[in-house]
Amino acid sequence: RILKRQMECRRDIDRLNASFIEIYESLVLPQEEKAKQKQLLAVLEKLVNREWPQAKLYLYGSCANSFGVLKSDIDVCLAIEDANINKSEVLLKLADILQSDNLQNVQALPRARVPIVKLMDPVTGISCDICINNVLAVVNTKLLWDYAQIDVRLRQLAFIVKHWAKSRGVNETYQGTLSSYAYVLMCIHFLQQRRPAILPCLQEMEPTYSVTVDDIKCAYFDRVEKLQGFGSRNREPIAQLVWAFFNYWAYRHDYVNAVVSVRTGSIISKQEKDWTRRVGNDRHLICIEDPFETSHDLGRVVDKHTIKVLREEFERAADILQYDPNPCVTLFEPY
């Protein structure tokens, strides 16, 4: 009887795995969408270079970090070397240029936390945010992209977690829940922590890539093609990893003391970061260290109400994966 039960269990896991992989594949951006994004970038670059011949445009965020799901907007960074520019002026000028070139819904938001120009391209139907000189975001985008090349399970896990977070309404920084960027870092950290590890810690290895941005040195091992097969000693299938991820955040993470750190590939203490009490609006109720801007806690947007919402959602997900006969449907039910 035990053998029979084990075989049934096995079949359940295989079935769940197949469902998760199907969901992942349905979320991945098709090639033709990527071509459209490139096309729009080329149009924008031409317009920008008429005004600022030295300026460069970079894609960042989910359209460039390989964690882009269907229907994401694209994030673009306008890099101008001149240190004396006034960002607001450039932003307004940029909005002017774009407006006169048939782009729609052009809107400058010079007072946002990250000042941007928003627009929609009627030719490709793509919406786009352009920021100025946010080079750190371009560098952390590359880090995420590099991690994604090492083991396909990172993309699978992160797509499922992002899809869950969007369905459950816990992917809204302005409402006190976490950004997509924070969720991807949580996934990287989780896979660094598996035994055997599925991902290495690139920032602890001999650096092969190094840039200094806003006085922050960003250095890590980026020859990721050399790390193919790094995680192959760990054979955990995606269904098990999804279950363990939610189980960790529901029941095992030490919210009182622990900081998740992709930079060190380990858990570090709040004490050591001086993140033990509220400072201004930063409450540090769930702590996720930015890999480069290490004084930056990506969980700082979470307050005493939304930490409850988040933890209840983690518990709900963990319980569904444990007990629900049809978890792939229930997990993503709109809230």
Token reading at 150: 């090492």
137 binds, among ligand ATP, Mg ion, none (CB under 5 to 8 A by kind): ligand ATP
C-beta of residue 305 within 8 angstroms of C-beta of residue 176:
yes
Of residues 74-133, those binding Mg ion (CB under 5 A): 75
Question: How many residues make contact with Mg ion (CB under 5 A)?
Answer: 3
Of residues 287-316, those binding Mg ion (CB under 5 A): none
What are the C-alpha distances in Å from 142 to residues 107, 219, 306? Answer: 28, 11, 30
Q: Is the peptide bond before 53 cis (omega within 30 degrees of 0)?
A: no
Q: Which residues of 34-46 are buried (b: 16+ CB within 10 A; e: fewer)?
A: eebbeebbebbee
Interacting residues with ligand ATP (CB under 6 A): 60-62, 65, 67-69, 72, 75, 137, 140-141, 179-181, 290, 296, 298
Report the nearest approach of ligand ATP to the CB of residue 235 (Å): 28
CA pair distance 287, 259, nearest whole angstrom: 5
60 binds, among ligand ATP, Mg ion, none (CB under 5 to 8 A by kind): ligand ATP
In the bound state with ligand ATP, the residue whose beta carbon lies nearer, of 48 and 116, is 116
Report the nearest approach of ligand ATP to the CB of residue 40 (Å): 16
In the bound state with ligand ATP, the residue whose beta carbon lies nearer, of 62 and 133, is 62
Which 3 state secondary structure label does DSSP give 72? coil
Among positions 16, 40, 58, 61, the unique one binding Mg ion when judged by CB under 5 A: 61
Report the nearest approach of ligand ATP to the CB of residue 237 (Å): 25
Q: Is 120 exposed, middle or buried (0-12, 13-18, 19+ CB in 10 A)?
A: middle
Report the nearest approach of Mg ion to the CB of residue 82 (Å): 27
CA pair distance 186, 284, nearest whole angstrom: 15
Report the nearest approach of Mg ion to the CB of residue 29 (Å): 12
Q: Which residues bind Mg ion (CB under 5 A)?
A: 61-62, 75
